[in-house]
Amino acid sequence: MAHLPLIFAHRGASAAAPENTLPAFARALELGSDGIELDVQCSKDGRLVVIHDFEVDKTTGAHGRVREFTAAELARMDAGSHFNPAFAGTGIPLLDDVLDLVGDRCLINVEIKSLDPMGGDEVDLLAALIRQRNLYDQVIVSSFNPISLIKMRWSDARVRLGLLYGRELPPYLQQAWLSPIIRPEALHPHFSLVNEGTMEHARAHGCAVNVWTVNDVAEARRLAALGVDSIITDVPDQIRAGLRAA
Ligand code: G3P
Ligand code: CA
């Protein structure tokens, strides 16, 4: 296959290790991923922590909202056993921990998860981190919440933005956010929404197209043939091997 999209490990290599944990990100690096995708939220004490759900219940067996716990309390939770007892004691990491682990070895797609419809304080915390660590070339910030992206754009215009959307958004809105208000560098559509029209529309607006979450090789080949820039997947090794073999 002539065009090989970049491969991003969704929540780390989440088919091989517990999602959004240091082992999952380490595994993603071992598997040669071009990038990792992860979800960030704000803890009770104002730290960026890496977890997908707004509650800790699904991955830790504890109960309550992420926001109700300090980063130290979240780090002490067991976010590994639900996946496999071999990962028992794996805590919920800080975004700082992940950045320290990854260094400059791969790209990072940071998805802001916020319960605040007005964007949340995650935006300011993340903007400060990107600035302090000079991550402008390594990080893209994504969100389903356009307000979060607008806040990030106003906070620091150098941060690259990816607009997430899926089927729940009416078709007329799926690409309307390309308006001058946000001007994202990339669209992040659910893979099932991507066709030639999507690609033409994105290119006309100078946007990359990064698709999620693709775990099927045949689907990855279809998307690669369309020219998508990145594929976000739980199985980065399988998708890369499948594309190379095409
Ligand atoms: O970034 C794409 C994908 O992660 C969005 O869906 O629910 O896995 O965060 P979700
Ligand atoms: Ca995500």
Q: What is the pLDDT of residues 88-119, one digit of tens each?
A: 999 999 999 999 999 999 999 999 998 888 87
- Please give the positions annotated as active site: 10, 52
Cα distance between residue 246 and residue 199, in whole Å: 21
Both tokens of residue 176? 């309307």
Can you tell me the ipTM of this complex?
0.99
**18 pLDDT exceeds 80?**
yes
Length of the chain: 246
Ligand 1 center to residue 162 CA distance, Å? 12
The interaxial angle of helices 122-133 and 95-102, nearest 10 deg, is 30
CATH level 2 (architecture), domain 6-245: Alpha-Beta Barrel (3.20)
**178 pLDDT exceeds 90?**
no
C-alpha neighbours within 13 Å on the C-beta side of residue 159: 31
Pocket-testing residue among 14, 213, 223, 230, ligand 1, by greatest number of atoms within 8 A of Cβ: 213
pLDDT at 168: 76
Q: Is 78 in the pocket of ligand 1 (CB under 6 A)?
A: no
- State the sign of the Cα–Cα–Cα–Cα dihedral 102, 104, 105, 106: positive
Going from N- to C-terminal start, the domains of the chain cover 6-245
Q: What is the pLDDT of residues 184-241, one digit of tens each?
A: 999 999 999 999 999 998 998 899 999 999 999 999 999 999 999 999 999 999 999 9
Pocket-testing residue among 8, 33, 37, ligand 1, by greatest number of atoms within 8 A of Cβ: 37
State the average pLDDT for the chain. Answer: 94
